[in-house]
A and B are shown apart, each in its own frame.
Chain A
Amino acid sequence: MRPDISIIADLVTADSRVLDLGCGDGELLAHLRRTKGVNGYGLEIDPEMITSCIAAGVNVIEQDLDQGLTNFPSDSFDLVVMTDTLQSVKRPDVMLDEMLRIGRECIVTFPNFAHWRCRLYLASRGRMPVAKHLPHHWYDTPNIHLCTFADFEALCTTKRLRVIERLVVDSDYANHSLMSRFPNLMGTTAFYHLGRPQ
């Protein structure tokens, strides 16, 4: 199982209605349905991923996130999830607004550009970092809006979003004491469980 799935599943309320933006092969939704009785839908544009969702019996809708989510009414879901995709949409800030319009709460995960390896890579080589959690080159990366944990935290503050839970893990999806003290230096992936502005 994808390592982030169990972390997300712990944050999801049983029997809730979940929309997964960029749901991939549907593994998260299939897991949530099985373990949490979740009524879920996923949006995806990759044809092969869509076929995998169909085979897994996951509700998958072919829809491009960058074309907007205006077809989804406000408050139509309990929770909107987006794993490792926020950094590749056209306007992550607008996306966050949309997620919290459609759902009462959202969960986003994204890679940290301020991880010490990235910093060292940029400082020593003077080139855009390529790392395990950021495997692309600058010219072919889908990650057009990379940010650091500190950047995202600042956006949440600006938007006055309610941070229900935040969690930082390293590339092995472990959370050790050094990381708790220096998340923006030691963490590779962040999980944010957010609520609407207070």
Chain B
Amino acid sequence: MPDRIPPDSVGVVTPQHLTFHEPVALLCGRVLPHLELVYETYGELNAARSNAVLVCHALSGHHHAAGYHSADDERPGWWDNCIGPGKPIDTNRFFVVSLNNLGGCNGSTGPRSINPETGRTYGPDFPVVTVRDWVATQAMLADALHVDRWAAVIGGSLGGMQAMQWAIDLPERVAHAVLIASASRLSAQNIAFNEIARQAIVSDPEFNGGRYLDTASNPARGLMLARMLGHVTYQSDDGLRDKFGRDVKSGDLAAARDVQFQVESYLHHQGRSFSQRFDANTYLLMTRALDHFDPARDFNDDLVAALKRAQSDFLVVSFTTDWRFAPARSKEIVDALIAARKNVVSAVVDTPHGHDAFLLEVPRYFSVLRAYLQHVAERVNAR
């Protein structure tokens, strides 16, 4: 192993592919003739198969959560600070599974896949997917890996919604659900932001009704705007001030016509790199799944009744400056869990980093996660 891969990393990992040849019925009524899921695993499944942890990704995430894809890979997986030997999701004790969700653009069946019925890419014709579909397809992966019951299902943001849905839909298969910076459903304001992002994409001339792959184009402008908008809302006012203040890119106003402030330059960079790596149809599909998530709806809008089905314990974490998934939304979940008589621990972590904090190594956040997962490891006899 090369020197520059840190010792607390899971090291070089290879994505794995699993193909299910039987048809998969989705909640929307449509059927996928077959399904491919790409995933990674870190750590080892113990003999009792009791130490498996599922990590669910958020809006723009994927299966590559930890480690490096090669010795000279520049960046590790998206949650590498949290997953690894000795880290809060400790791979010395847990067998960690991370996948790219159905509808994604990183290798699992999604809008970029070929529709066997037409012989061309699904594109905008890819079926509508829901958080419940994700849970059902993640359960197919669990079956394939011989995991009957997850020691924990963990996710931040949209990932936390999947963890909650797991606990409700497949209660006997989840021992602990960890919901970070999440909500039991989106607020109107939150849906509004998603709709602005979607409009930025679909109004890009390159979008071509979602058939941009057919013309070898990419609605990069729209994706970039969607990401820039998202990025601002994932941060707090104080956070952006701390990071950029009013620093200007160049002292010479005349020379800096396009980009004048550091914060603009940062957003442009974030937006541009996102537009090169993410699929527009997947973005639309994922934000729709986010908007429609509402497990209480199947229970007469009674979240307590929905959560009563759960057999797991819960950890609910929120961040003080997160205004997209505010602490009040987490509190709703916690109150419902108490009313449903579930075991629950909640922490409201004080940080200036807004919603993005769930991806960052905030010391208090990590110490809460670490303590909870140590407790989980003991309860499931991990290792």
Contact = CB atoms under 8 A, between A and B. Distances in A.
Contact of A61 (B339, B341, B346, B379): B346
B335 to A, nearest CB: 5
A53 interface: yes
A136 to B, nearest CB: 25
B335 A50 contact: no
Contact of A76 (B339, B347, B348): B339
Contact of B347 (A17, A39, A59, A62): A62
Contacts of A41: 338, 344
Interface in B345-375: 345-348, 364, 367-368, 371-372, 374-375
B375 A55 contact: yes
Contacts of A62: 346-348
Nearest to A53: B345
Contact of B367 (A51, A57, A63, A71): A51
A17 B335 CA distance: 15
Contacts of A73: 339
B19 interface: no
Contact of A51 (B341, B344, B371): B371
Interface in A30-63: 39, 41, 47, 50-51, 53-55, 57, 59-63
Interface residues of B, number: 21
B371 A59 contact: no
Contact of B346 (A17, A47, A57, A60): A60
Contacts of B315: 54
A69 to B, nearest CB: 11
A53 B346 CA distance: 11
Contacts of A17: 341
A41 B341 CA distance: 10
Contacts of B272: none
A42 to B, nearest CB: 10
A47 B367 CA distance: 10
Contacts of A57: 375, 379
A168 B344 CA distance: 34
Given A50-B347, A61-B346, A62-B346, A55 B368 contact: no
B344 A55 contact: no
Given A51-B368, A60-B346, A62-B346, A39 B341 contact: yes
Interface string A65-89: 0000001110010000000000000
A54 B346 contact: no
A47 B364 contact: yes
A55 B334 CA distance: 19
State which size class the interface on A falls in.
10 to 19
Interface string A128-157: 000000000000000000000000000000
A63 B379 CA distance: 26
A34 to B, nearest CB: 15
A54 B334 contact: no
A46 to B, nearest CB: 11
A98 to B, nearest CB: 15
B190 to A, nearest CB: 21
A53 B334 CA distance: 16
Contacts of A54: 315, 345, 368, 371-372, 375
A41 B339 CA distance: 11
Given A41-B338, A73-B339, A55 B345 contact: no
Given A54-B368, A71-B331, A61 B344 contact: yes
B343 interface: yes
Contacts of B339: 73, 76
A60 B345 contact: yes
A29 B338 CA distance: 15
A55 B371 contact: yes
B344 A50 contact: no
Nearest to B327: A62
Nearest to B332: A71
Contacts of B371: 51, 54-55
Given A61-B338, A61-B344, A71-B335, 6 more contacts: A17-B341, A54-B372, A55-B374, A59-B344, A73-B339, A76-B339
Interface of A: 17, 39, 41, 47, 50-51, 53-55, 57, 59-63, 71-73, 76
19 contacts: A41-B338, A41-B344, A47-B367, A50-B345, A50-B347, A50-B368, A51-B367, A53-B345, A54-B368, A54-B372, A54-B375, A55-B375, A59-B345, A61-B334, A61-B345, A62-B347, A63-B346, A76-B338, A76-B339
What are the nearest 8 A-B pairs in CB distance? A54-B371, A62-B348, A61-B346, A51-B371, A71-B335, A55-B371, A62-B347, A54-B372
